[in-house]
Amino acid sequence: MLDKIKGLYHQLPKERLRFLRNIPNRMLYGKSYSKTMISYDNNIIKTNLFEILQYSKANTHHGRKYIPKKFNKNDVFGVLKDLPFVTSNDISENIDFYTSKEYSSLNSYQTSTGGTGRNPTPILLSNESYGIEWAHMHSIWGEANYRRKNCPKLTLRGTVIKNGKLFEYNPIYNEYVVNTYLMCANNIHIILDLIRKYNIRYIHGYPSLVKEFTSYLETIGESIILDAVFLGSEGISTADKSELANFFKAKIISWYGQTEKIILASDCLGHNKYKVFSSYGYPSVTDKDESGFGELIGTTFVNKALPLINYKTGDYARVEVEGNNIYLTDVQGRWGKDFIYVSLNKRVPTSSINLHSSIQKEILFYQIIQDKFGEVNIKILLKKDTKFTNERIIDMFKSDFKVKLADFTVSYEIVLNPESIVRSTRGKMIMLVQNLSL
């Protein structure tokens, strides 16, 4: 069903596809959507860990090598403790070692991670994980009475729209997607008219872009009342959440997750205390300090195509148990306030300039360095076995970033040595090296 809808979506004018918003979620997102049993109860974690460990043992090279042949449900935490950690570099270098033998192009699809502070990594996602993901997301948004069919939303997520349009309707998600690269104080009244015309009561976007949108409204002396603002892909302080709640008179909902579908947790109260879905994945931390703060490790329950166990997310947090629930607090890491600046007043979040072309398979990492406003240098660390020439690599980067970095002067540098990539104090490769004095 999803493939057919995507085919129609790309071939026909969007206005002719408005009927798609009326398709029931169970049909649009597949059988896994309606079969998903959503839960925050940590009493089911032991069962879910047992099942994913057994599955990995039976279907992946990683599982066969490291997971013991015999163990029972009461042994799962001990088994997990003895397993090695898996990193994004491990996946980049040998994804087949972690992929389930039950999945192929017929029942899974390839994508890549990216965004602030993480190695862009090719990954495999099962088709059913799409429906499972959306069942959980709709559960989160449902805390503000959101229903896809009846609730159009405005989306501010670093999107570039063809033909230079300011916005475009997406009937599949019943949303009006704004070209945030064009959004400014001079055209904000057009977006405001759109909101009022369709009685839009929900905004979904990156926190930095929602705040930018708010600043433009303030510039022209306008305000709107919403039911909720949905914030993802970047961190945001509780003070900023409170400010947005007051401005829009709305509920502020945010969540923590990854493209790899390892952990999902929600904050529906605006206090940055994220409640973990035990139906989605299991979190823990390693290298903890005396306060319990450490690197966040996760094990997926939802993506059997790439059943990652003890995966190092590259983020840092505390994991706290209260009653039958698990919470993440003080989440830090790739959610850092990472932006590149055209000028002091115009910035672009790095989470909106991910690399998603086939070039992904030829590189290990790329790093953005900014020393001057409106200028960036991109270092590209190649895989040793790439067959592509340096010129082809750079041309593909230019093609991918041509629109999103149109306001910048961009230089590219091919590097072969990982030591050429600037690292954090913890030794991690970081996506953005921001040297501007701000």
Mean pLDDT computed over every residue of the chain: 88
pLDDT at 270 over 80: yes
The model's confidence at residue 300, banded by pLDDT at 50, 70 and 90, is very high
- Return phi, psi of residue 124, to 5°: -115, 130
* Residue ranges per structural domain of the chain: 2-33+147-226, 36-134+257-332, 339-434
Say if residues 294 and 426 touch (Cβ distance below 8 Å): no
Return the half-sphere exposure (C-beta side, CA atoms, 13 A cut-off) of residue 7. Answer: 4
Is residue 157 pLDDT above 80, yes or no? yes
How many angstroms separate the CA atoms of 299 and 264, rounded?
A: 11
**Cα–Cα distance between 391 and 362 in angstroms, integer?**
13
What's the CA angle centered on 231, arms 225 and 232, to 5 degrees? Answer: 165
* Residues contacting 250, CB < 8 A, separation 6+: 144, 225, 226, 227, 228, 229, 244
Within 10 A of 27 (CB to CB), how many other CB atoms are there? 13
Tokens matching residue 408: 């910048």
Looking at the predicted structure, is the pLDDT value of residue 283 above 50? yes
Q: Left, alpha or beta for 247 (phi > 0: left; psi -120 to 50: alpha)?
A: alpha
- DSSP H or E stretch at residue 56: helix 45-59
pLDDT at 1: 46
Count of CB atoms situated within 10 Å of the CB of 197? 9
**pLDDT band, very low/low/confident/very high, at 268 (cuts 50, 70, 90):** very high
DSSP state of 85: P
β 167-170/175-179 pair status? antiparallel
**DSSP states of 151-191 as a string?**
--EEEEEEE--GGG-SEEEETTTTEEEEETTT--TTTHHHH
pLDDT digit string (tens) for 351-364? 667 665 577 778 87
pLDDT value of residue 100: 96
Give the number of C-alpha atoms closer than 13 A to the C-alpha of residue 204, restricted to the C-beta side. 20
State both tokens at 222. 């306008």
Predicted TM-score (pTM) of the model is 0.79
Tally Cβ neighbours within 10 Å of residue 112: 19
- Phi, psi for residue 285 in degrees, rounded to 5: -130, 150
Which is more confident, 121 or 307? 307
* pLDDT at residue number 117: 45
Would you state the structure tokens that stand for residue 120, as one six-digit string? 């862009």
By DSSP bridging, strand 167-170 and strand 228-231 are unpaired
Percent residues over pLDDT 90 in the chain = 59
* pLDDT 10s digits, 313-355: 988 899 999 999 999 998 876 544 467 899 887 878 776 676 6
> Which fold, 339-434?
GMP Synthetase; Chain A, domain 3 (3.30.300)
Give percent above pLDDT 70 in the chain: 91
> Closest Cα to residue 244, out of 223, 229, 266, 232?
229
Across 77-86, 110-119, 173-182, 209-218, the highest mean pLDDT is recorded for: 77-86
The CATH number that domain 36-134+257-332 falls under is: 3.40.50.12780
Can you tell me the distance from the alpha carbon of 374 to that of 410, in angstroms, rounded to the nearest whole number? 9
pLDDT value for 172: 86
Residue 227: pLDDT band with limits 50, 70, 90 = very high
Question: pLDDT: is 127 or 357 the higher one?
Answer: 127
Grouping H, G, I as helix, E, B as strand and the rest as coil, residue 195 is helix
